[in-house]
A and B are shown apart, each in its own frame.
Chain A
Amino acid sequence: MNAMALNSIEATAPRSGLGIYLKETQYELLRMVRNPGIAIPVLVLPLGLYALFALVIGGEWIAKDPNAGIFLFTAFSLMAVTMPAMFGIGVSLALERDMGLLRLKRAQPAPPAAWVVAKILAGLVLAMLAYAPIVVLAVGTGKLALEVVQVIALSVALLLGTIPFTALGLMIGSLASGTAAPGWANVVYLPGCYLSGMFFPLPKSMYWQAPIWPQFHVNQLAMHMADITKMQFEPLTVAIGTMVAYTLLFAAVTVWRLSKKG
């Protein structure tokens, strides 16, 4: 084929690939926010729980030990940033596979990665929307005794923590059916919240199993980045390495499953 013909195809290509990604992300986000089954638990639950525990129940505890404030803040923030990945991205992927929407997207001339990039970005935006009120509340009420730099570092670490959970969400979405996905997401996610020591300090006899849960490593990354030495239980490299390894594992299963089943 000659160069002219190629140019004529190039010339009819949409002007900006970026535009497609933005539009796709915008609508993905709109879908998550408009779906009460996703928006309410994701946006309201962590904030409400944080307010309950940090302001009402644990107020005195925090006054005595500032580390308790950091502990509670990290716990519910981690919940806020990871839930969109599990229940927004993962469950919606499973539903869309059931709906045949994925087949349609693959047939339409959208860039092949646009839908998955949009899901990940929308999940990230939703995570930020869920996280922002918690951090405002924590700093505003003085329940988070950290320097500004530490708060920023902690925030960055938490947002990085969405990566392995995004991969986990996508894996569940690629394996489970639309009706089973919320169940599986809970089965995989909730035990980790308790058994990783995220919600309450673990007794020594249960330390051995904490590293199984991704929550533990994200928490550790946050503790290292914010330089809170009292709550560091594993080296930084191990936390990062495990997060990377989990991400790769979950992503590999997802790619394998989607390439096989679609």
Chain B
Amino acid sequence: MNHSTDQRLHALDAVRGFALLLGVAFHAALSFMPGWPPGIWAMNDNSPSQFLSDAAFVTHIFRMSLFFFIAGYFGRLLYQKLGASAFWANRGKRIAIPLIAGWVVLFPLISYIWITGITKVFGGTLPTMPEMPKTPGAFPLTHLWFLYQLLLTYAAFLAVRALVVRLDPAQKLRNVVDRAVAFSIRSMTGMFVLGLPLAAALMSLGFWFYWQGIPTPDQSLIPQVPASVGFGTAFIFGWLVNRSSNALAAIAQRWFQHLVIAIVATGWLLHTMHATPMAQPGLTKTLYALVFGVAVWGWVLGLTGAALRFLYGFSPTRRYIADASYWIYLMHLPVVAAFQVWVGHWPLHWGVKYPFILVSSFAILFVSYHYLVRPTFIGQLLNGRKHPRRRATMDSPPSPASPPTSPSPVEQGHGGVVARLRGITKRFGATTALSNIDIEVRSGELLAVLGPNGAGKSTAISLWLGLTEADEGEVTLFGGSPQELAQRRHLGVMMQDVELPKELRARELVALARSYYANPLGVDEAITRAGITQIADRPYGKLSGGQKRQVQFAVAICGRPKVLFLDEPTVGLDVKAREALWQSIRTLLAEGCSIVLTTHYLEEAEALANRVAVVTKGRVIASGSVDEMRALVARRQVSCETSLSADEVRTWPGVVEVTKESSRLRITTTDTEAVVRRLLASDANLARLEVKQAGLNEAFNELTREAA
């Protein structure tokens, strides 16, 4: 599994936790439903809320489908890793035991609270409770039904999978499916197609209250059709998304569009439901079922995509919450219901009571998780890992599915690689800014990236800074992703075309920037090192261009960075300021800081660099030591008006390149004297002879032609 997939798993873990915690909020709302007959839930609150009814409906559209979708994704991951028998052993521990043990513990508690609540609702006398329906398989699964349904789904799916593997030995069918999965997401057709089986199952329901969405299969051990079809589709698609190499990226890309359609569809569902809450046979019911399917998949793909887009990477807080969510969802129902029963007759508005129930329940559940579960065998059972109590705070170790990979810079020995671009391609529309480039920065060195304007230097820096994502290839900073804060805490940066806030003084700008770092320089020290003591108390807006660059340099170095990115640092500096800046750079190098410097001044690279990489038109066309690069530009350019042909001159020794512009020849040569002597000897009428040092641009152009 590569690094970026690892990063994405954190986002999916967060989504799973979100879906489960949303369930708590959903159940906490159910005592406030307007118009629900007494006895249908543990409590009927005296302050019902249409808003909570609508909000609960909206979350109920997608939360379980989202859970099964993620379960499918992680299901394949686990199956690939463990194989069939270990997979079942693992699922037995994580799913079957919590189902059975949880039911044994929770069912009596839930029953007790329900009886207490319903007695309260009916004014102190318990009415005759309806019997469990006398149908085969009837069983009160309670909210743990989802574990039972998940086990059934695993079994059914793996049986089908075995059949497919037998029928499609060459993977032809599966390759087609993989491509179709990614296409269906990118083209947005998936959200319309995936809901169709569910819509068909819902249409066939005899009694269907629109509000309930997919009827909850919590009353029977016999699988129910709509739930099996709806959640089964979600599970299968999750599994297929894990198979397809491009699907996750497509989901991340289309998050916004999916969410917009989900919101529009949901708006229509709410509107229709308010008119007629109970489905009547006819066009509306059909349309409702179809739109419901679209809403389910809009939310599932939109929320997953948003998480991939914004919750990329490891966060200790999210990790902790995701770990806690399983326990919390298992245990929440009696806690939430007990609060609902308690507050049900208080003469307060639901706007006070509902948050009270939610906050109190979460407090109890998180505390119980922290002390009873996380450091004990229960945590081991539910999440596969026990956390020793003394470190049982937010800095949690990895979960089974998602090991965070962030090697510390401390681990990088001298000469190790601190930053790397590997096989990177980056396009902006039709322009390819970088084309399959590899560059690495080693510990303690200064790498100068040379190239003309528009060569792709700044794009390369942007990738290392985590500002843009590559279309292909891998970007690493201290072995991790630059998008992670933990990696960026060790970098300093001076960008091109950046203006700092003009109202703030240099001293204040440094003070603000250093607050981001763990072990920064003192404000005065950073100011002295950057040579801006004289101007430290003047507003940034009042400084000259060169002085502004010096302040930006102070901001870049104030965090004692382990790697420093300087994008054209000396543009606009006078000679004295440039020398001073070079001196500061040398001091940083002597202290072991690695530096990436982009420039189009060759002498800057000569003065400072250990290594040079020449980039032109998005490709690294040469790299090596400064001496090697110097040889490259030791060439001269000779031009003259002559009747000699370019083809002839090209064959002469010492001639690298010849171009002809009307009567004028331009000759690039490594042996100027010999070529000039021979030119004069061969053409007596030769005129307007010029010899000049080949600039970097000429060297680049020439190199690119060679590379092409």
Residue of A nearest to B488 (CB): A109
B493 and A104 contact, CB distance less than 8 A:
yes
A14 and B395 contact, CB distance less than 8 A:
no
B516 and A110 contact, CB distance less than 8 A:
yes
Can you add 19 more A-B contacts, CB < 8 Å, to A34-B539, A109-B489? A8-B408, A8-B410, A9-B486, A9-B489, A13-B489, A14-B516, A23-B515, A27-B512, A30-B504, A31-B503, A35-B503, A99-B498, A101-B500, A103-B498, A107-B465, A107-B466, A107-B493, A109-B488, A259-B310
B246 contacts chain A at the CB level, 8 A cutoff: no
B444 contacts chain A at the CB level, 8 A cutoff: no
Q: How many A-B residue pairs have CB under 8 A?
A: 110
A205 contacts chain B at the CB level, 8 A cutoff: no
B531 contacts chain A at the CB level, 8 A cutoff: no
B511 contacts chain A at the CB level, 8 A cutoff: yes
> Can you sample 18 A-B contacts with CB below 8 Å?
A14-B515, A23-B515, A24-B512, A31-B503, A34-B503, A99-B498, A100-B495, A100-B499, A101-B500, A103-B495, A104-B493, A104-B498, A107-B495, A109-B488, A109-B517, A256-B256, A259-B256, A259-B309
> In whole angstroms, what is the CA distance A209 to B376 when docked?
61
A19 contacts chain B at the CB level, 8 A cutoff: yes
In this complex, the member of A7, A103, A111 whose beta carbon has the largest number of chain B beta carbons within 10 angstroms is A103
A12 and B519 contact, CB distance less than 8 A:
yes
Q: How many residues of B contact A (CB 8 A)?
A: 44
Which B residues fall within an 8 A CB radius of A?
51, 256, 309-310, 316, 395, 397, 403-408, 410-411, 465-467, 485-486, 488-491, 493, 495, 497-501, 503-504, 508, 511-513, 515-519, 539, 559
Query: With a CB–CB cut-off of 8 A, which chain B residues contact A24?
Result: 512, 515
Query: With a CB–CB cut-off of 8 A, which chain A residues contact B310?
Result: 259
Knowing A5-B411, A6-B395, A107-B493, the reply to whether A99 touches B499 (Cβ < 8 A) is yes
Knowing A1-B407, A8-B410, A30-B508, the reply to whether A107 touches B309 (Cβ < 8 A) is no
B397 and A3 contact, CB distance less than 8 A:
yes
Query: With a CB–CB cut-off of 8 A, which chain B residues contact A65?
Result: none
A1 and B406 contact, CB distance less than 8 A:
yes
Knowing A1-B404, A10-B395, A256-B256, the reply to whether A104 touches B495 (Cβ < 8 A) is yes
> In whole angstroms, what is the CA distance A31 to B410 when docked?
38
B345 to chain A, nearest CB (A): 23
B495 and A12 contact, CB distance less than 8 A:
no
> In whole angstroms, what is the CA distance A8 to B497 when docked?
35
Residue-wise interface mask of A (101-118) relative to B, using a CB-CB cutoff of 8 A (1 in contact, 0 not): 101101111111000000
Which A residues fall within an 8 A CB radius of B?
1, 3, 5-10, 12-15, 19-20, 23-24, 27, 30-31, 34-35, 96, 99-101, 103-104, 106-112, 237, 256, 259, 262
Query: With a CB–CB cut-off of 8 A, which chain A residues contact B407?
Result: 1, 5
B260 to chain A, nearest CB (A): 9
Knowing A1-B403, A103-B467, the reply to whether A31 touches B501 (Cβ < 8 A) is yes
> In whole angstroms, what is the CA distance A14 to B514 when docked?
10
Knowing A3-B397, A12-B518, the reply to whether A108 touches B488 (Cβ < 8 A) is yes
A1 and B405 contact, CB distance less than 8 A:
yes
Query: With a CB–CB cut-off of 8 A, which chain B residues contact A112?
Result: 485
Knowing A30-B504, A104-B493, A109-B559, the reply to whether A23 touches B498 (Cβ < 8 A) is no
Residue of A nearest to B410 (CB): A8
A106 and B408 contact, CB distance less than 8 A:
no
Residue of A nearest to B403 (CB): A1
> In whole angstroms, what is the CA distance A82 to B319 when docked?
38
The 7 closest A-B CB pairs, nearest first, are A99-B499, A107-B465, A100-B498, A109-B488, A34-B503, A31-B503, A109-B489
Query: With a CB–CB cut-off of 8 A, which chain B residues contact A34?
Result: 503-504, 539
> In whole angstroms, what is the CA distance A15 to B407 when docked?
20
In this complex, the member of B256, B406, B408, B467 whose beta carbon has the largest number of chain A beta carbons within 10 angstroms is B408
> In whole angstroms, what is the CA distance A100 to B493 when docked?
13
Query: With a CB–CB cut-off of 8 A, which chain A residues contact B519?
Result: 12
Residue of A nearest to B489 (CB): A109
> In whole angstroms, what is the CA distance A96 to B397 when docked?
38
A56 to chain B, nearest CB (A): 34
Residue of B nearest to A262 (CB): B467
Residue of A nearest to B498 (CB): A100
> In whole angstroms, what is the CA distance A1 to B404 when docked?
7
Query: With a CB–CB cut-off of 8 A, which chain B residues contact A23?
Result: 511-512, 515
A230 to chain B, nearest CB (A): 24
In this complex, the member of A19, A23, A96, A108 whose beta carbon has the largest number of chain B beta carbons within 10 angstroms is A108
Residue of B nearest to A24 (CB): B512
